[in-house]
């Protein structure tokens, strides 16, 4: 601890290269889970698909057993915001589903989330997902160009606030985080604008950037299972997340196979592989 603040873990290039491997395994596992998210499947089915990819790759789950969490992914459906537990819930046509997962390779962690519309999409749900994903990428671009971690939340908030159409809410109770030898580490990564600049962005910093947006109020509650977070007004929600590394030559999105190149190019950012 320094001046009452948790110490930030800065990674070496070698450590970040291992995090790349964890991110690639995670990306493949999320690919498989998203592909399996069709009407008639249960959320437990998706957990099994995800777990099988990790097992085949020789990776382990950082979600399973985390403070007692009983599965390898979180499956949050409709009004469920985050931390939904996979189970017997059958996916229905039109559900909006956020799948959040992680993997560990040689002690180094990855964390990423995607949202998928099951079957036929409600246009407003599709807009919610598209805006959340685009906001995440603007936060990642701010990590590449900004000076302080607070610049990430500023970029996310500015983008969401400027999107035409019905206003969307940015959750404030749940935020991004540092990642490395543990899944959740300092610093917190806010998804909204504040006067707090946060720590300086410098090489070795690895962050999980994960905006969560809702179609209604940002007020949430937690189910009796002590995990599942839901909107109190029952409106639908969405989460997108990537783990990102900062090194001497730039940034690299650890949980994207191309390091984020295709999504960052329109934003004027060229990711650079970890040297």
CATH number, domain at 202?
3.90.230.10
Q: Report how far residue 241's alpha carbon sits from residue 193's, in angstroms, rounded to the nearest whole number.
A: 18
Q: Report if residue 275 sits inside a domain.
A: no
Checking if the pLDDT of 263 tops 90, the result is yes
Residue 133 annotated as binding?
Answer: no
Query: What is the pLDDT at residue 1?
Result: 33
Average of per-residue pLDDT across 232-244: 98
At 110-167, the pLDDT tens digits run 999 999 999 999 999 999 999 999 999 999 999 999 999 999 999 999 999 999 999 9
Q: What is the 3-state secondary structure (H, E, C) of 47-89?
A: HHHHHHHHHHHCCECCCCCHHHCCCCEEEEECCEEECCCCCCC
Residue 125 annotated as binding?
Answer: no
Residue 184 annotated as binding?
Answer: yes
Local confidence band at 5 (pLDDT 50, 70, 90 cut-offs): low
Average of per-residue pLDDT across 211-220: 98
Residue 9 annotated as binding?
Answer: no
Q: Report if residue 75 sits inside a domain.
A: yes
At 24-65, the pLDDT tens digits run 999 999 999 999 999 999 999 999 999 999 999 999 999 999
Q: Report if residue 263 sits inside a domain.
A: yes
Q: Report if residue 4 sits inside a domain.
A: no
Local confidence band at 21 (pLDDT 50, 70, 90 cut-offs): very high
Q: Residue 90 is part of which domain span?
A: 13-267
Q: How many domains does the chain have?
A: 1
Q: At 153, phi and psi to the nearest 5?
A: -65, -35
């Amino acid at each position: 601890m320094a001046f009452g603040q948790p110490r930030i873990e800065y990674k070496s290039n070698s450590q970040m290269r291992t995090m790349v491997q964890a991110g690639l395994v995670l990306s493949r596992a999320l690919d498989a889970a998203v592909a399996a998210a069709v009407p008639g499947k249960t959320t437990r089915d998706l957990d099994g698909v995800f777990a099988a990819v990790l097992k085949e790759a020789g990776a382990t789950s950082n979600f399973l057993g985390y403070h007692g969490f009983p599965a390898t992914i979180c499956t949050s459906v409709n009004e469920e915001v985050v931390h939904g537990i996979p189970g017997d819930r059958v996916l229905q046509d039109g559900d909006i589903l956020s799948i959040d997962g992680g993997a560990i390779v040689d002690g180094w962690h990855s964390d990423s989330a995607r949202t998928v519309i099951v079957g036929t999409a409600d246009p407003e749900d599709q807009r919610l997902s598209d805006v959340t994903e685009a906001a995440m990428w603007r936060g990642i671009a701010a990590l590449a160009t900004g000076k302080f971690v607070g610049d990430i939340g500023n970029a996310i908030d500015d983008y969401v606030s400027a999107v035409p159409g019905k206003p969307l809410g940015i959750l404030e109770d749940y935020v991004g985080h540092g990642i490395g030898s543990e899944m959740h580490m300092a610093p917190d990564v806010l998804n909204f604008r504040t006067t707090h600049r946060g720590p300086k962005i410098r090489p070795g910093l690895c962050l999980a950037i994960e905006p969560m947006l809702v179609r209604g109020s940002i007020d949430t509650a937690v189910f009796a299972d002590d995990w599942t977070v839901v909107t109190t007004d029952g409106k639908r929600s969405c989460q997108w997340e990537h783990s990102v590394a900062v090194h001497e030559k730039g940034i690299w999105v650890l949980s994207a196979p191309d390091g984020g190149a295709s999504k960052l190019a329109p934003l004027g950012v060229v990711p650079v592989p970890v040297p």
